[in-house]
Structure 1
Amino acid sequence: MLFASFSRRAGLMRPSLRRNCPPRRTIIPAPGPNTGPLMERRADRELPSVNQGRRWTRTLPIFVVAVGAAMLGIFNYQKSSSSVVNSTLYALRTSPQARELLGDEIYFAQQIPWISGEINQLHGRINISFWVKGTKSQGKMRFRSIRPDRMSFFHTEEWSLETEDGKVVQLLSDNDPFRQ
């Protein structure tokens, strides 16, 4: 009798009787979306279901568009804060022709300006345009300057202001602030 009780506790029962016994630990389901956190880890718990659908195929185009928009914004911010844009804006503010057309307080026309064109000082190419406004009206300022070779200075080819009605005023003159 003592041997029988000892053998049941030790799990030494006959194989035919062992098959009918329920397992001691049950398999618990994986945590659901509205259940609390899993407080203990058990090796025999049910694994979470794996989505067979490819959700990334829907989110990849959104990611690409978001990264592209961020890159355009960053590059435009880099252009708008460059010394070339600041210098042309300053020269535009001090130009008597531009003040006559636009008025006082000349600045970017939009709160977030869009600088079109290229600023490549390393290779000697600057070709930009952006909208500016004053107290009287607004217009599109264009500035183009090149550096023929590595050891020479930049030469301004165009610095003009196009008003909203289509009138183009060339701002390069004998007292040009860009020519020295």
Structure 2
Amino acid sequence: MLRSAGLNSLKVSSKALLRTTACRGLTMSAVRLNAQPTGTAASGTGKPMVVDRELPDPMADRKKQWLGFAAFTVAVSSALAIIFNYEKTENPIISDTLYQLRKSPITNEWLGDNIEFDGIVPWVYGKLNPVAGKINITFYIKGSKNQSGMVRLVADRENRHDEFLIHEWSLTVNDKVFDLLGESSSKTLNRN
């Protein structure tokens, strides 16, 4: 019994010792966290922040900034123009027009076979807006005879359910204008 009482008191005293040690450890940790080192700006007794060199002047090199902005504007505008032109060249109306030009006897006579866009970068000038029903475009083509020509297509339509009515479709080679609309049996474009 004495032994068990001694063991029980030892257990109780060891638990109490652990509790007080743990409480002291937590208290010391809390004191360390709340304390701030002396001489810092947070305590208000430290040195103020000092900039040891002069700040850059935002108005300096104004010409360089404007040149950079101008170069950026030109680059973005050029990229947008190339993207929009690519959309025009890949339009089904242009594809259909090139197909009709490849079948045209006048085009084959003056330009030869293998009709394609002229130049390294094909460019379609003018307005090509099938949704609004307005087409007024010009582009250059070439054939196997190393001769280039300019194609002009003007068409419109009243609403989305109608076909495009062609007003002008011509090929210009060496300042000679050929009416391609006259040789075509259809006066409309079938594309919607």
TM-score (norm 1): 0.67
- 1:134 shift after superposition: 0.6
Q: Which of 28, 50, 53 pairs up with 2:56? A: 50
Establish whether residue 123 from structure 1 lines up as the match of residue 123 from structure 2: no
2: CA distance between counterparts of 1:125 and 1:69? Answer: 24
User: CA, structure 1 residues 99+71, in 2 after alignment: closer, same or farther (shift >3 Å)?
Assistant: same
Aligned residues: 138
User: CA, structure 1 residues 177+89, in 2 after alignment: closer, same or farther (shift >3 Å)?
Assistant: farther
Structure with greater helix percent: 2
Rg (Cα) greater in structure? 2
Q: Which amino acid aligns with 2:56?
A: V
Structure 2 counterparts to residues 30-179 of structure 1, below 5 A: 49-52=55-58, 53=60, 54=62, 55-136=64-145, 137-163=147-173, 165-173=174-182, 175-176=184-185, 179=188
User: CA, structure 1 residues 82+47, in 2 after alignment: closer, same or farther (shift >3 Å)?
Assistant: farther
Superimposed CA distance per residue, residues 7-42 of structure 1 (whole angstroms, 9 cap, x where no aligned partner): xxxx9xxxxxxxxxxxxxxxxxxxxxxxxxxxxxxx
Q: Which amino acid aligns with 1:161?
A: L
Could you tell me which residue of structure 1 aligns to residue 41 of structure 2?
none
Unmatched segments (≥5 aa) in structure 1: 1-10, 12-42
Cα-Cα RMSD: 2.4
User: CA, structure 1 residues 111+177, in 2 after alignment: closer, same or farther (shift >3 Å)?
Assistant: farther
TM-score (norm 2): 0.63
Superimposed CA distance per residue, residues 119-150 of structure 1 (whole angstroms, 9 cap, x where no aligned partner): 11111101111110011221001111110234
2: CA distance between counterparts of 1:103 and 1:48? Answer: 71
1: CA distance between counterparts of 2:66 and 2:148? Answer: 45
Q: 152-161 or 52-61: which moved more?
A: 52-61
2: CA distance between counterparts of 1:102 and 1:67? Answer: 36
1: CA distance between counterparts of 2:183 and 2:140? Answer: 25
Q: Which amino acid aligns with 2:156?
A: I
Q: Which amino acid aligns with 2:116?
A: Y
- 1:173 shift after superposition: 3.0
Q: Which amino acid aligns with 1:113?
A: P
- 1:157 shift after superposition: 1.1
User: CA, structure 1 residues 48+85, in 2 after alignment: closer, same or farther (shift >3 Å)?
Assistant: farther
